[in-house]
Amino acid sequence: MKRHFFRNSELVFIAIEEIFMGIVILMQSAKLHNVLPPILDWTDDVVPGMIYLVLGSLLLVNSLWDFYWYKIRIILLSLSAFMFTMLTLSFGLDMFYSHQVDVVPYLFLVITVRIVYAAWQEPSYKMKGGEGH
């Protein structure tokens, strides 16, 4: 496990960020101030908080124990990028509507870029079943 921690440290930190984001949303600490379109207004509710917790936990388990079924890692990273993209858009629109500059959407944008970069760095030979192919 220690070897996998150092090997997949970027994924471990992404998973921890996602777990903390789920906790913050569940504690209702991150709330939108304006009414947004329904496609973006759901990002600060309880259900997305639970989704962040589950995705972060699954990504943490996958990166620490380094399973040989690597397609699940790309799926988890894609879902994580989708969820953080929705957060970036919703908090960005909230900032736009309130006419106040806030750092939160930019933080979510940086996390989204990190997730996409981590997915991009996944070696293609792992998608074929591990290092033996």
Q: Which of 110, 92, 109, 90 is nearest to 100 (CA)?
A: 92
Query: How is residue 14 written in tokens?
Result: 């992404």
- 129 vs 93, higher pLDDT: 93
Q: Where are the domains of the chain?
A: 2-128
Report the first-to-last Cα separation within the chain, whole angstroms: 23
Query: How is residue 83 written in tokens?
Result: 């969820």
Query: How is residue 76 written in tokens?
Result: 């988890």
- DSSP string for residues in 8-69: THHHHHHHHHHHHHHHHHHTT-S--SS---HHHHGGGSHHHHHHHHHHHHHHHHHHHHT-S-
Q: pLDDT tens-digit profile of 16-41?
A: 999 999 998 888 766 777 778 877 77
What sign does the dihedral 37-41-47-53 (CA atoms) show?
A: positive
**Alpha-carbon dihedral 96, 32, 10, 74, rounded to 10 degrees:** -90
Q: pLDDT tens-digit profile of 61-115?
A: 888 886 666 678 888 999 999 999 999 999 899 889 888 888 989 999 999 999 9
pLDDT at position 133, please? 42
C-alpha 65/C-alpha 98 separation (Å) is 44
